[in-house]
Structure 1
Amino acid sequence: MGSHGSHLEREPELNLILEETGFSRANLNRLHHRFRYLDRNNKGFLSRMDLYNIKELEQNPLADLIIDSFFPDGGQCVDFQGFVWVLAHFRPLEGKDSAAQDPQKPEPLNSRNSKLRFAFQLYDMDSDGKISKKEMLQILRLMVGVGVTNEQLEIIAARTVQEADEDGDGAISFVEFTKSLEKMNIEHQMSIRILK
């Protein structure tokens, strides 16, 4: 398997990845093959440009923001473990949320709360812990595209923030974001079927 294979074969690292992400060994093998396919230069890491070759992101209006999530510290590349860690947020839930079952274990990356935190961080572009009207407008522009005027988008953004903003500070906190989405099936919305 070459240098890529040796990374996946290191048992302590493999066990840590399995534990952190909840993926099965079979899933991890498939993701490793996908990683190697995207790593066309065989460097052992992916750049932003490599990630733009993920077919599932082509039609996603938030592709740039999702790709940015692979580089939380502004880095220029992501290794296999970082790649899998981000994708684990999109792993469908099996049965009940396991965080509720065992309080000693860390919350799974694919739990409802982790998925909401991940989505919130995509929307909170300046990382200040709040989604402002300006940030909501930027997200709407990405998601809606053409066909809706800027004036209409500004009204929608203002109304969205106003409806979710319970403390009246003009922005949406994580708690307010979570509450505004409590009826949405975020587990389904933020799942990629290939990650089962």
Structure 2
Amino acid sequence: MGSHGSHLEREPELDLILQETGFSKANLNRLHHRFRYLDKNNKGFLSRTDLHNIKELEMNPLGDRIINSFFPDGGECVDFRGFVWVLAHFRPSQEEDPTVQDPQKPEPLNSRNNKLRFAFQLYDLDCDGKISMKEMLQVLRLMVGVEVTEEQLEVIAARTVQEADEDGDGSVSFVEFTKSLEKMNIEHQMSIRILK
């Protein structure tokens, strides 16, 4: 494993990180190398600026929203454990028999439900537990840019909310969001290929 493995071994709470995230030691080693690469000044944590240096996030229209997920309490830095905890949501899902799931163990971060919850939070900009028409419109603007007129975006946002809104309150709850994405392969869509 060389020097990279020895740095990972010095990471506090390594066993807890392995257990919480479900990553293999080899994947954690790769992520630790990436974390150290992003931490140019060897501070032991990453700032929002450090995360903005990730090319894939810079190109992603929801990149800022994803970066915000690394700082759930509004903090300004994330340590290695927090870094991999967020990335664990993007770990490819294994086909597991749900009847074998141990009720004492928490649901894996990369479960379909947790992937959907993570995606829902990208849309729920005010964190009130619902996606409003205004929030849907804001996210659509980010995703399509200037390719579509404002009027077309408003129609798409209205139709999307209307189709998912089962209780008629004008917004989309997490349950409604989940139902609207029932047929989508979230497990595949929200997986980082390098971690396979």
State if a TM-score over 0.5 links the two structures. Answer: yes
Matched, 1:134 2:143: no
TM-score (norm 2): 0.93
Aligned to 2:167: 167
Structure 2 vs 1, CA of residues 138 and 97 (structure 1 numbering), >3 Å: closer, same or farther? farther
Deviating beyond 6 angstroms after TM superposition, the runs of 4 or more aligned structure 1 residues are: none
Name the % identity. 83
Query: What do residues 29-84 of structure 1 show as CA deviations (whole Å, max 9, x unaligned)?
Result: 11000000000011000001100111221321100000000000000110000000
Q: Distance in 1 between matches of 2:139 and 2:36?
A: 31
Letter in 2 for 1:73: D
Aligned to 1:26: 26
Any conservation in 2 of the 1:99–1:108 contact (CA below 8 Å)?
no
Query: What do residues 151-170 of structure 1 show as CA deviations (whole Å, max 9, x unaligned)?
Result: 11011101100000000100
Q: Distance in 1 between matches of 2:67 and 2:11?
A: 28
Letter in 2 for 1:149: T
Aligned to 1:158: 158
Q: Distance in 1 between matches of 2:69 and 2:105?
A: 24
Aligned to 2:93: 93
Q: Distance in 1 between matches of 2:188 and 2:195?
A: 12
Letter in 2 for 1:15: D
Between stretches 96-105 and 166-175, larger displacement belongs to: 96-105
CA RMSD of superposed structures (Å) = 1.8
Structure 2 vs 1, CA of residues 133 and 97 (structure 1 numbering), >3 Å: closer, same or farther? farther
Letter in 1 for 2:175: V
Q: Distance in 2 between matches of 1:102 and 1:183?
A: 26
TM-score (norm 1): 0.93
Q: How many corresponding residue pairs?
A: 193
Cα deviation for residue 144 of structure 1 reads 0.6
Structure 2 vs 1, CA of residues 23 and 99 (structure 1 numbering), >3 Å: closer, same or farther? farther
Letter in 1 for 2:138: Q
Structure 2 vs 1, CA of residues 193 and 114 (structure 1 numbering), >3 Å: closer, same or farther? same
